[in-house]
């Protein structure tokens, strides 16, 4: 696994070795072809260009064998491509992109406020990579954060029946679903400079807030897995910072690091043991081992999504 940003990187980047093909998002675009996806019974109709604006790790989940070649996107069985992916998660992303696209000024100038006056221009984060900076002139940078949580419940008593243990696992899953704070799951540490603290500082400088909750959070069918996703628009102004235009400002520097993940999904894994309280059917506390995998990626967006979901 390669390291993003050097040996002291706070998150491990997905390896892209020379033997692996180009990222899906860089494949041929500019096509008006449409494809209909059947996500567990919910259908979405998207153009090829719209698909390619999705995060790279989402495309890899939708098309594990690669995106269909240009000119062949409507030749699949019945013109519908079945995908085992949470439709509500995709709908959340599309609606977020649609909302952001509606706020992008067509001319690159700041949109007028309700009283007719133009809002003050945002202070750009400097310095930025040339290509990324050019893209952000008329696009919105979006931070995409996903959590895959696997949990393993410890039997609360000896000689528990398999069916009873299955109910305990389901109850544990419901209890974990209620813990929907984005940063509440990171290991607590009072020591400054820890990996978790550094990651939180980078994400909150970039666009998230410490009290934010996951935009979508749901259990995977027939699995002890909970998938969560949250999106935030890249904050190109550092609110409340008197020296926001100073490249040496720690908040500006922290937000800049997110550009390392531009179209380069990265992962970080944690293991922890927790004791859940108030679990249905369990007396006292239930011990659970949790494995969290965070995937982080930066994307840009300019198109207005025309999505049909039925």
Average pLDDT over residues 61-81: 67
- Give the number of other CB atoms < 10 A from CB of residue 170: 15
Tokens of 303: 């198109």
Instruction: Name which residue leads in pLDDT, 100 or 13.
Output: 100
Residue 260 has pLDDT above 70, yes or no: yes
The 8-class DSSP code of residue 222 comes to: T
User: Helix (H, G, I), strand (E, B), or coil: what is residue 39?
Assistant: strand
d(CA 75, CA 28): 18
Model confidence at 41: pLDDT above 90: yes
Question: Which pLDDT value is given to residue 211?
Answer: 93
Pick from 53, 38, 71: nearest CA to 231: 53
Q: Half-sphere exposure of 69 toward its Cβ, with a 13 Å CA cutoff?
A: 2
- Residue-level length of the chain: 310
Q: Does the pLDDT at position 146 exceed 90?
A: yes
Question: Do 217 and 180 touch, CB atoms closer than 8 A?
Answer: yes
Q: What is the pLDDT of residue 265?
A: 87
Q: How far is CA 99 from CA 37, 94, 124, 251, in A?
A: 22, 9, 22, 26
Residue 212: is its pLDDT beyond 90? Answer: yes
Q: Are 37 and 83 in contact (CB under 8 A)?
A: yes
Half-sphere exposure of residue 169: CA atoms within 13 angstroms, side-chain side = 21
When mean pLDDT is compared across 56-60, 219-223, 255-259, 263-267, the lowest value belongs to 255-259
Stronger pLDDT, 54 or 220, i.e. the higher one = 220
Q: Which band of pLDDT confidence, cut at 50, 70 and 90, is reported for residue 264? A: confident
Please enumerate in sequence order all residues whose Cβ is within 8 A of that of 35, keeping only pairs 6 or more positions apart, or say none: 45, 46, 47, 48, 51, 68, 73, 74, 76, 81
Q: What is the mean pLDDT of residues 116-143?
A: 50
What is the average pLDDT value for the chain, to the nearest integer? 75
Burial of 12 (0-12, 13-18, 19+ CB in 10 A): middle
The answer, yes or no, to whether residue 298 has pLDDT greater than 60, is: yes
DSSP string, 106-145: TTSSPPB-TTSPBPPPPPPPSS--HHHHHHTTSSEEEEEE
For 186, residues 6+ apart whose C-beta sits below 8 A from its C-beta are: 196, 199, 200, 270
Highest mean pLDDT among 77-81, 138-142, 215-219: 215-219
Are 226 and 220 in contact by the 8 Å Cβ rule? The answer is yes
User: For residues 272 and 7, which has the higher predicted lDDT (pLDDT)?
Assistant: 272
Looking at residue 278, what DSSP letter applies?
Answer: S
* Mean pLDDT value across residues 238-267: 65
The pLDDT, as a whole number, for residue 79 is: 75
How many other CB atoms sit within 10 Å of the CB of residue 129? 12
């Amino acid at each position: 696994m390669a390291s993003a940003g050097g040996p002291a990187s706070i998150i491990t980047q997905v390896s892209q070795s020379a033997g692996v093909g180009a990222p899906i998002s860089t494949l041929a675009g500019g096509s008006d072809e449409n494809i209909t996806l059947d996500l567990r019974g919910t259908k979405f109709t998207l153009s090829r260009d719209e698909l390619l604006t999705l995060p790279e790790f989402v495309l890899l989940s939708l098309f594990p064998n690669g995106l269909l070649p240009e000119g062949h996107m409507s030749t699949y069985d019945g013109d519908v491509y079945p995908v085992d992916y949470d439709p509500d998660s995709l709908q959340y992303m599309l609606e977020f992109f649609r909302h952001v696209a509606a706020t992008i000024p067509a001319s690159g100038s700041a949109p007028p406020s309700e009283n007719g006056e133009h809002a003050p221009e945002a202070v750009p984060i400097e310095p930025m990579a040339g290509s990324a900076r050019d893209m952000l002139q008329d696009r919105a940078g979006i931070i995409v954060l996903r959590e895959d949580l696997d949990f393993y419940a410890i039997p609360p008593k000896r000689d528990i029946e398999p069916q009873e243990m299955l109910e305990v696992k389901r109850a544990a899953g419901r209890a974990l679903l209620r813990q929907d704070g984005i940063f509440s799951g990171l290991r607590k540490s009072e020591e400054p400079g820890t990996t978790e603290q550094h990651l939180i500082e980078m994400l909150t400088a970039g666009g998230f807030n410490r009290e934010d909750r996951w935009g979508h959070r749901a259990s995977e069918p027939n699995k002890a897995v909970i998938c969560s996703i949250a999106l935030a628009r890249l904050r190109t102004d550092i609110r409340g910072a008197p020296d926001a235009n100073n490249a040496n400002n720690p908040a500006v520097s922290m937000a800049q690091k997110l550009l390392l993940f531009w179209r380069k999904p990265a992962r970080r894994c944690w293991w922890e043991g927790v004791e859940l309280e108030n679990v249905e059917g369990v007396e006292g506390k239930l011990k659970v081992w949790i494995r969290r995998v965070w995937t982080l990626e930066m994307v840009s967006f300019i198109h207005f999504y025309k999505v049909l979901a039925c």
